[in-house]
Chains A and B, each alone.
Chain A
Amino acid sequence: MTKVYVGMSGGVDSSLTAALLVEQGYDVTGVYMKNWTQDLPGMKCPWADDLADAKRVAVQLGIDFKVFDFENEYKHKVVDYMIDEYKLGRTPNPDIMCNQEVKFKLFLEAALEDGADMIATGHYARVDSGKLKMAADENKDQTYFLYRVTGEALRKTLFPLGEFTKPEVREMAEARGLFTAGKKDSQGICFVGQIGIREFLTQYVEQKPGAIIDKHTGKVLGRHDGAIFYTLGQRHGLDLGGGLPYYVVGKNMDKNEVYVTTDLNDSALWSGNVALESVHWINSQPGEGTYKIRIRHRAVLEEATLFFKDNAVRLVLAHEQRAVAPGQSVVIYDNDTVLGGGIIASAGSQV
């Protein structure tokens, strides 16, 4: 019997994942990955409750249950990475890093070491002989977060929820009487929770007041407490009073200045040309040509042409996109298959 270790977070998705695998006849072991346990000001980290919920479902299903402790590795590979990126003025995506470094690397390795043949998670995605494919539920598809996983890892991975929509998953969990069937989905970055990235970062980086400057007039419009907290295209949180909304069009980390505009058509907000770094291909590097891309989770797929030029990987977008922020990921699709992607090094309007 194939032995599958299921990452169980205590949520409805991974609970149903485990239940479906049991029904499909796998020898299933539930695993709670203990990645983050720190409370933050105003937010109690729910890990102990989540662990209890995951274990409760495991008992309900009559399967083995283990806790894998990745707290140190998670801090180094995901949280520190995120903080360092922000310090460089970029906007990283820690969930992508978590999948790359923890779930589909550490967890996979530890599970195989422990006797598993395969792993499974509750991600909304499909896997087909080492290829990563979009979920049936386009609205829920999580392949954006999975593009840095290796083909090798995918060959040992099951995504039982890939064929279902979220409402179907809830219904199936309900029908099976799973304790977590009605549990609310977690929001945002797992360890940041509801408090927001800004509050989280203030635990780790000093707040440094600086100027918010109108890009066109050069006039100082107000103060901010650190350029690090601002992202290209950001509209909220500028606290500049009434009138037209302002958007962040740039920042200077050395001078700790944030530049804004009220002009949504400002060329600095729009990019048609993206240079990628840390490029990762799930199986093999595709040829140059026209593909579909996505610059953020759940964004509509856009057409783009892929070039390889002087060791650089570039994308020319068919339509300019707003707020293509350095540090974020671009994921490249061939129809419903994820080829891979990269991290935005720079983006601009010029080809």
Chain B
Amino acid sequence: MDKSVIYLDHAAATPLDSRVLEAMQPYFSDAFYNPSSPYAPALNVRRAYDAAKQTLAQTIGGRGDELVMTAGATESINLAFTSIGGHVVTANIEHHAVLQVAKHHEHTIVAADEKGIVTAEVIKAAITPATRLVSIGLANNELGTIQPLRDIATAVKTERTKRLERGDMTPIYLHTDASQGAGLIDIHVSRLGVDLLTLNAGKVYGPKQVGLLWAAPHVRLAPQIMGGGQERGLRSGTENVAGTVGFSKAMELADKKRGNEVKRLQQLRDNLQKKLADAFPDAVISGHLKRRLPGHLHISFPGIDAERIVFALEMRGVLVATGSACAANKGTRSHVLTAIGLAPEVADGSLRLTLGQLSTQENTDQAAAIIIEEIIKERQRANA
């Protein structure tokens, strides 16, 4: 990436860590073998692949053979939903990857509160005797809000116990798409209390189109992609060895530095937030101020056309996301901001600023100054 560019969109994509790239490299060339081939060099590739899955599993407190490697998070979510079937409960702030799949099932979409939190109470109220799956993302991709998954898990467990007591064998599982939180918050599956978990390498400085679905041993998955029977028959197709090795390396690295990185990002984010809020007293910060991803800032400047700011910032080398409508999204307002009841003129002035490994004190300060300048300029132009 151009060194002069300031990247503030880590929630959309993260740059591949050089150590991840290094770990992946051999599997494109020297160790290109098909892991299913019978000779020793291929067997070594198979071992490396299994070891990578084992490492990945360890970062979430699972076992390697409980993982199904997929081409990204969307496929993982599809596999989870389609395997379980039945009535599903999810929330109105979920990612399209969840909401669109939910539409193919009998579903209840619960409402998040105005801070973007999905409470265990609304989940409990939405569960019916036919509910087989509850799916709530660990952290919201727009607001950065971290959900009370353990409370939700308790609600699901209570329902499960009730069913067993009355001899009802209908299973009920909790799934979470943890793509946005991985590397930043604890995603240990037993501590979260989930039965299924989705991850995406592309969000943790690993390669894109690499993801996984972890499912607890008591969960029965059904394959969506048929063929040679790889991944215990649950996801056929020659294994993406390089991608999986890279994913594993990325998760390992994230795990190691998590404590310090979280503190660092939080500080940078809080500084950035303070600078912008001080400069614009009418700015609105959305999401939960405490239960929020450390590098995440969703901020709205009422009356401003955020997309103009995105383009103006782009010309000055600062890359940010609009927090809501943008032409590339066909002009539709963000369903998340509508869900939390943000007024249209506030929603349309939203920026999503997400810090990460490329963020430094220096470039974040620089970005703050440029953002302030451009917003002042835009307000002057609009009022002229």
A interface, CB within 8 angstroms of B: 37, 48-49, 51-52, 55-56, 58-60, 62, 64-65, 67
Query: A59 contacts B311, CB within 8 Å?
Result: yes
Q: How many A-B residue pairs have CB under 8 A?
A: 31
User: A52–B326 Cα gap in the complex (Å)?
Assistant: 8
B312 within 8 Å of A by Cβ? Answer: yes
| Smallest beta-carbon distance B185→chain A, Å | 33
Query: Which residues in A have their C-beta under 8 angstroms from that of B329?
Result: 48
Q: Check B327–A62 contact: CB distance below 8 A.
A: no
Contact A60 B311 (CB under 8 A): yes
Interface residues of B in 299-355 (CB under 8 A from A): 307-308, 311-312, 314-315, 326-331
Seed contacts A55-B327, A59-B312, A62-B381; 8 additional CB < 8 Å A-B pairs: A48-B330, A51-B327, A52-B326, A52-B327, A56-B314, A59-B311, A64-B381, A67-B331
Nearest chain B CB to A28's CB is how many angstroms away?
12
Closest chain A residue to B329 by CB distance?
A: A48
B159-189 vs A, CB cutoff 8 Å, 1 = contact: the mask equals 0000000000000000000000000000000
B307 neighbours in A (Cβ, 8 Å): 52, 55
Indicate if the CB atoms of B308 and A49 lie closer than 8 Å. Answer: no
Closest 8 CB pairs of A and B: A52-B327, A59-B311, A51-B327, A56-B311, A59-B308, A48-B330, A59-B312, A48-B327
Of A37, A48, A64, the contact of B328 (CB 8 Å cutoff): A48
**A207 CB, min distance to chain B CBs, angstroms:** 31
Q: For the complex, give the distance between the alpha carbons of A18 and B202 in Å.
A: 39
Q: Which of B311, B329, B331 has the most CB of A within 10 A?
A: B311
Quote the shortest CB–CB distance from A351 to chain B (angstroms): 55
Do A55 and B328 touch across chains, with their CB atoms under 8 A apart? no
What's the Cα separation between A60 and B312 when bound, in Å?
7
Which residue of A has the minimal Cβ distance to B330?
A48
A52-B326, A55-B327 given as contacts; is B308 within 8 A of A65 (CB)? Answer: yes
Q: Which residue in chain A gives the minimum CB-CB distance to B308?
A: A59
User: Judging by beta carbons under 8 Å apart, are A55 and B381 in contact?
Assistant: no
Rounded to whole angstroms, the CA-CA distance of A37 and B327 in the bound complex is: 12
- Which residues of B lie under 8 Å from residue A60 when comparing CB positions? 311, 315
Task: Give the docked Cα–Cα distance between A51 and B315 (Å).
Answer: 17
Q: Which residues of A contact B315 (CB under 8 A)?
A: 59-60
Least Cβ–Cβ distance between B232 and chain A, in angstroms: 37
Of the listed residues B308, B315, B327, B328, the one surrounded by the most CB atoms of chain A closer than 10 A to its CB is: B327
Report the bound CA distance from A55 to B308 in whole Å.
7
Output the nearest chain A residue to B314 by Cβ-Cβ distance. Answer: A56
Instruction: List chain A residues, Cβ under 8 A from B308.
Output: 55, 58-59, 65
Write the nearest CB–CB distance from B322 to chain A, whole angstroms: 11
B312–A52 CB distance below 8 A? no
- Contacts A60-B315, A65-B308 given; indicate if A52 touches B381 (C-beta within 8 A): no
Contact with A along B99-141 (1 / 0, CB 8 A): 0000000000000000000000000000000000000000000
A50 to chain B: closest residue by CB: B327
Q: Which residues of B contact A52 (CB under 8 A)?
A: 307, 326-328
Cβ contacts A to B, 10 pairs, < 8 Å: A37-B330, A48-B330, A51-B327, A55-B311, A55-B327, A58-B308, A59-B311, A59-B315, A64-B381, A67-B331
Per-position 1/0 for B228-272, Cβ under 8 A of A: 000000000000000000000000000000000000000000000
CB distance from B309 to the nearest CB of A (A): 9
Tell me, in angstroms, the Cα distance from A205 to B329 when the chains sit together. Answer: 31
